[in-house]
Structure 1
Amino acid sequence: MWFMGTGAGRPNKHRNVSGLALQMTEGEGNWWLFDAGEATQHQVMQLPLKPSKLEKVFVTHMHGDHVYGLPGLLSSRSFDGGETPIHLYGPKGIKSYLQDVFRLTSTTLDYELVIHELNETESTQVVVKEPQFTVTAMPLAHRIPCYGYRIVEQDCPGKLLVEKLKALGVKEGPLFGKLKNGESVALADGSVVHSKDVTNQPLPGRIVTILGDTRPCASVRPLAEKADLLVHEATFAAGMETKAHEFGHSTTLEAARAARDAGAKQLALTHFSGRYSNEQLSLLEQEAASVFPNTTAALDLSFIDIKRRQAAE
């Protein structure tokens, strides 16, 4: 995961505003975008990401520090050779916002942009359901409608026990592929080899939770349950809960408690108020780490490798 912007409200000398890039499929270069504050496309240019490989966009809410960069990035993608469709998911209003900007600026896209607006009356929505990934959205507690997204990767088949296969007389080739995919195969002597008998345990899929702006609320825990990585805003330092809640935000300790209570494995703090310099972020990180040790205060253009667990729990 790449952090393209970790600031709240507006850009400053230390950081850009909200933007995240998620690559869950190794080696293919395809990526998903979560929010796009102004200058997001400038940040993309500094990372090993190709706009033409952008597949999906998820918007948490309509505040400017999360959407001002979206029209420019989508427009520039046409100039970068982007021809494949993009599916965009976000709150009510995102469709008219983009349509009006493109209409008023006479912007045309060389690819299909499919916009899915979330249903404000539903508490839980499965917005993406594919063979490899499922994405669920739930509303958070901010000043305007805002959502968090839970991305769940399907389990991967375990590694083949090659020596055992050879002992059983299974020849390398198409039969290996079928067994790897969980199928049973019949051999020439009439015996049947079952996938579960010649593979290691499946590798559990990763879970990533990306929250929009929020004060503590009931949706955070189910969204973050056992996440391999929880990205949680920490706009303010500990002790500033009253101010944070007034504006629909959280503090460092509240983010840490959310990660702890949900059984998350790693916490990345982001969306920092401009009152904090990058040098002060280590102090914010320490505050959260006092409750949840595996905490990182994300910096612009930083990267977190979301490790795959080795065996199903």
Structure 2
Amino acid sequence: MRVTFLGTSGAVPTTVRNPSGLLVEREGDRLLFDCGEGTQRQMMRYGTGFDVEHVFLTHTHGDHIFGLPGLTQTWDFQDRDTPLAVHAPAGTRDRIETLLSATGESPSYPVRVTQVSAGDVVLDREAYEVRAVGVNHRTNAVGYALVEDDRKGEFDREKAEGELGIPPGPKYSTLHAGEPVEHDGRTIQPEEVVGEPRSGRRLVYTGDTRPTDGVVEAAEGADLLVHDGTFGEDHRERALETAHSTAREAAQVASDAGAKRLALTHLSTRYTGQAAELESQAAERFDGTVFVPDDGTQVTVPYPDSDREFQVDQLG
């Protein structure tokens, strides 16, 4: 699973940070979360690919959606014919549809705008799903959790072949699929050669929010929590007034959830060049990995039982 931070600024872009956008690639699926102004250029700059079929919007503030008309028009210029699904909070469909036809013309390819509420399964795939998460902002808003299914346990080939005498072949696949097989006059049960199910990965993206129990619950044991970290402690009251979070508050959410890693995004322009200070404040409350990504930061999230490291690269 690769996560590319396309935009990490707060409401106002800077010369180095674009408005909100996050591209998640999982086994060939590309999912776009929020689409701030200039998102399509960021996708080009960082080489994420354009074959996105689902866009997940956390809310309809401009810094999270103004990139959508340009991106959908570019797809039109590219003769796209693949359907596009845009998911947005309940009560916002009319606004999104108006935005998509801002030039007076609608995309020539099918576009479906769905409205979602906290708790909804927004996308249901064979090996994972994307759920809407309850957040607390100044308007109708949701976060999203990408939750993978448990994977099959490891197959003990050494025991199957050496101890039980089962030669490599179709019986291995049958056992790994959870079904018994007959061999040498006895029934071999799957649990004899297949280990316990292995956990999948969990990624949570909050969009703009105050700390909420809904995010804590959704991010339980998360491999990566991407949380609003707009302000430092020096502007804690401003965070409360504008329904955002401080870096330390986001860290408390990550700690309460038992998340493994925390990425702080949506940084106010006040903190240009001060990412290290926000990281330091968050580290006071969270023992896991905490970082402030730049635009173009790409992380590779390993499976929980993998020997691979959590990898951070800077693109562009």
Q: 1:1-20 counterparts in 2 under 5 A?
A: 1-20=3-22
Change (3 A) 1:178 1:66: same
- The question of whether the paired residues in 1 share the 8 Å contact of 2:13 and 2:19 is answered with yes
Q: Is the 8 A contact 2:91 2:140 kept in 1?
A: no
Equivalent residue number for residue 86 of structure 2: 88
Q: Residue 127 of structure 1 aligns with which residue?
A: 122
User: Equivalent of 1:113, from 111, 114, 138?
Assistant: 111
Q: Percent identity?
A: 37
Letter in 2 for 1:241: R
Aligned pair 1:175/2:171, yes or no? Answer: yes
The alignment partner of 2:300 has SS state of coil
2:255 alignment partner, one of 260, 263, 270: 260
What amino acid sits opposite 1:183 in the alignment? E
1:233 corresponds in structure 2 to 228
Q: Does 1:283 align with 2:288?
A: no
TM-score, with normalisation over the residues of structure 2? 0.88
Normalized per residue, the structure richer in strand is: 2
- TM, length-normalised to structure 1: 0.89
RMSD, aligned α-carbons: 2.1
Structure 1 residues 283 and 202: CA distance shift in structure 2, 3 A? same
Paired with 2:278 and 2:18, the residues of 1 have a C-alpha distance of 18
Looking at structure 2, the residues matched to 102 and 142 of structure 1 have their Cα atoms a distance apart, in angstroms, of 24
1:171 and 1:75, CA in 2 relative to 1: closer, same or farther beyond 3 A? farther
Does the 8 A contact of 2:23 with 2:30 survive in 1? yes
SS at match of 2:43: helix
Per-residue CA deviation, residues 159-183 of structure 1 (Å, 9 max, x unaligned), is 3222222233434333333333323
Contact 1:89 / 1:117 at 8 angstroms: preserved in 2?
A: yes
Residue 292 (str. 1) matches residue 290 (str. 2): no
Change (3 A) 1:209 1:104: closer
Equivalent in the alignment of 1:200: 195
Residues 106-148 of structure 1: CA deviation (Å, up to 9, x unaligned) = 54545432221024xxx53222333311222133211111111
Structure 1: runs of 5 or more not aligned: none
SS in 2 for 1:219: helix
Partner in structure 2 of residue 151 of structure 1: 146
Q: In the alignment, is residue 44 of structure 1 matched against residue 43 of structure 2? A: yes
Stretch deviating more after TM superposition (243-252 or 41-50): 41-50
What residue identity is the alignment partner of 1:48? Answer: G
| d(CA) in 1 for partners of 2:107, 2:268 | 35
Per the TM alignment, residue 274 of structure 1 is displaced from its structure 2 partner at its CA by 1.0
**Partner deviation per Cα, 1:1-33 (whole Å, 9 max, x = no partner):** 1100000112111200100011232xx3x2111
SS in 1 for 2:233: coil
67-76 or 169-178: bigger deviation: 169-178
Task: Note closer, same or farther for the CA distance 1:73–1:181 as it changes in structure 2 (3 Å cut).
Answer: farther
Check whether the contact 2:69–2:99 (CA below 8 A) recurs between aligned residues: yes
For the Cα contact (< 8 Å) 2:69–2:102, is it kept in 1?
Answer: no
Measured in 1, the distance between the counterparts of 2:109 and 2:146 equals 25
Aligned: 1:210 with 2:205: yes
